[in-house]
Structure 1
Amino acid sequence: MGSVRRASAWLGLVDDNGDESYYDEEYADYGEGSERGDTWVTDPRVQVASETAEEQGRQIATVTPDGFRDARGIGELFRKGVPVIVNLTGMESSDAKRVVDFAAGLTFGLRGSIERIATRVFLLTPADYMVLNAESKRGADGFFNQN
């Protein structure tokens, strides 16, 4: 009997009858053509979360460019109305500055916004998105005020 099963039996969560046939069935190796071979088929009525998000327009892209040549991909995603998180931590300083300048111009031109999330990480949001900043609300209600 497995340690989890013994612990569950000791806590009274399962019956401790010593029957381990359940585990034999669970870990059995089923080859092709067996009666259990089709049990892992996904129900076609279930829609994958990424497909649902894409249909509803709920996507956020994360881009880690290697150089300035990857800025075009950022621009194409942003023009589609997708918020983009740009991680510049792996880039050289000169190329990172060029990408930030490009992103700033892109967001200005499309009436979006750019916000620094962390050191060398930026969030580009289209005009129809609003970023909620939790830090500005901390001081307002005094919950985190340690005066």
Structure 2
Amino acid sequence: MAGAGNEGESGRGEPVNSHDVTDEQWEGLAQVVPLRGRDAWPSAVDHRVPPEAVTEPRRRFVVLRVNVFADARDVAETLMAGIPVLLDLTGAETEVAKRVLDFSTGVVFGLGSGMHRVDRNVFLLTPPGTEVSGLMEGAGVPGT
């Protein structure tokens, strides 16, 4: 019965196969390895963000459909906040549209902003320093 009941050892206290190790043998093989931090492990994908990486701020614009002159104040406040405005005057009566456009032109001039015609009665008002591309040639409003 010696060795027959122990599947992991032969009758002499040795491992049955070359992959089995006794506790005494294991103690001689054990090594203490310090744990590495996340950044210390080599990786095919670099998870660290380089400090010099600068993300471009997301730009947004506001679409304002103006039907009454009282809404012109929203146009001015939004543009003064540095947010581009797509001014849609298609639903306004002709006289109201003219007044809002005149008011908006004054705001654009006063802020040193830009005004670009997108379509009939639709204008893009941009804060200073905003670059606009993709508009049709000659779409800019004269004088801005």
| Pair 114,135 (structure 1): closer, same or farther in 2 beyond 3 Å | closer
CA–CA distance in structure 2, aligned partners of residues 65 and 134 of structure 1: 22
Quote the offset at 1:81 in angstroms. Answer: 0.2
CA–CA distance in structure 1, aligned partners of residues 135 and 92 of structure 2: 29
Using the size of structure 1 for normalisation, the TM-score is 0.52
Give the root-mean-square deviation of aligned CA atoms. 1.4
CA deviations on 1:76-127 (whole Å, 9 max, x unpaired) are: 1000000000000000000000011011110110000111100000000011
Using the size of structure 2 for normalisation, the TM-score is 0.53
Q: Which structure 1 residue ranges, 4+ long, deviate > 2 Å from structure 2? A: 133-136
Aligned to 2:69: 68
Please say if residues 118 and 135 of structure 2, whose CA atoms lie closer than 8 Å, have aligned partners that are also in contact. no
Aligned to 1:108: 109
CA–CA distance in structure 2, aligned partners of residues 63 and 86 of structure 1: 5
Whose radius of gyration is greater, 1 or 2?
2
Percent identity of paired positions between Structure 1 and Structure 2: 38
Quote the offset at 1:135 in angstroms. Answer: 4.2
Name structure 2 gaps, 5 residues minimum: 1-56, 138-144
Quote the offset at 1:65 in angstroms. Answer: 1.1
CA–CA distance in structure 2, aligned partners of residues 57 and 97 of structure 1: 32
Aligned to 2:86: 85
CA–CA distance in structure 2, aligned partners of residues 93 and 128 of structure 1: 31
Normalized per residue, the structure richer in helix is: 1
Map residues 37-52 of structure 1 onto 2, 5 A cutoff: none
The yes-or-no answer on 1:126 pairing with 2:99 is no
| Pair 57,133 (structure 1): closer, same or farther in 2 beyond 3 Å | closer
CA–CA distance in structure 2, aligned partners of residues 117 and 128 of structure 1: 19
Name structure 1 gaps, 5 residues minimum: 1-55, 137-147
CA–CA distance in structure 1, aligned partners of residues 87 and 114 of structure 2: 13
CA–CA distance in structure 2, aligned partners of residues 109 and 133 of structure 1: 25
Equivalent pairs counted in the alignment come to: 81
Aligned to 1:145: none
